[in-house]
Amino acid sequence: MAARDHIRANCAAKEDGFTLVELLVSLALMGLAAVLLAQGLASAGIIAQRSRAVNNNFEEIVAVQNVLRTSMERLRPITRTDSAIPIVEMRGTAGVLTFVGPSFDREGADALQRYRLTRTANGDLVLYTAHSRKMGIDRSGTELVGWTPNRLLSGVRDLSISYFGPPEPGAQRVWQDRWWDRSTTPELIRVRLVFGERDQRVWPDLVIRPRSTSYGPCRIDALTGKCGEER
């Protein structure tokens, strides 16, 4: 009788709690679950951070392209005053583009300023500006004294600017890496950028059609300095 009662007491004790081994196993499983949960949260955080970085980079590229598009679309085919023949005050190479257009702040009814797009030696994409009436500045070369720098992007490894139009009157229209001392503006301007190898930013080709050539090639009137259709 006593033995039977002892067996029942042992069984009741087992039903009321866990053994030490069971407790240790449970703690180990809970620890493993906590580690997996922490790793999952960390991975989710990294993914979210990368997603935010991609979105920020995309927004940055879109903003810069909008600035360039706005300025180049409004390019004015102003003729140079130091030339005997009508030549547009615009000079472009593969790495530097200088032109005239309305200012962003529009100071005055006909406020114009000069723009110069280039890449600096330290990899910045910069849009320089100078008021069209400002004296003592280099209008078409590489000297930047008197120009106001506006940094658009950093980390640019290469800048390539191309111009679409006939290399000479009557010739077939092609992409060119130089537009210099012409009587017309190019029909299209293409801006390409290349970032560093580890830079995840992507620059889609930016192709801009100046409004001065929106309805065909612009022929400059020697008297007014404007396109024929603007007279």
| Res. 2 pLDDT band, cuts 50 70 90 | low
Return the beta strands (E) in the chain as ranges: 91-92, 96-102, 112-119, 125-131, 151-153, 156-165, 174-176, 179-180, 188-195, 206-208
Q: Look up the pTM and report it.
A: 0.69
Each residue's pLDDT tens digit, 84-132: 778 888 999 999 999 998 887 655 545 788 899 999 999 999 999 988 7
Confidence of residue 139 (pLDDT cuts 50, 70, 90): low
Could you read off the pLDDT of 181-224 as tens digits, one per residue?
898 899 999 999 999 988 989 999 999 999 877 544 445 454 44
| 11 burial type by CB count under 10 A (0-12 exposed, 13-18 middle, 19+ buried) | exposed
Give the integer Cα–Cα distance in Å for 122 and 125: 9
So what's the pLDDT on residue 86? 80
Average pLDDT over residues 50-64: 74
% the chain with pLDDT above 90? 37
Instruction: For the beta carbon of residue 80, count every other beta carbon within 10 angstroms.
Output: 16
Q: Which of 91, 65, 68, 67 is nearest to 78 (CA)?
A: 91
Q: Sheet containing 112-119: which strands, arranged edge to edge?
A: 151-153, 125-131, 112-119, 96-102, 91-92, 179-180
Phi, psi of 219, deg, nearest 5: -100, 120
Between 9 and 42, name the one with better pLDDT.
Answer: 42
Q: What are the residues whose beta carbons fall under 8 Å from the beta carbon of 172, sequence distance 6 or more?
A: 166
| Domain parsing of the chain, residue ranges | 60-230
Could you report the per-residue pLDDT of 140-174, keeping only the tens digit for each?
A: 666 777 889 999 999 999 999 999 999 888 889 99
Pairwise CA distance, residues 50 & 25, whole Å: 38
Residue 148 DSSP symbol: B
Give me the residue label for tokens 């009662």.
Answer: 5
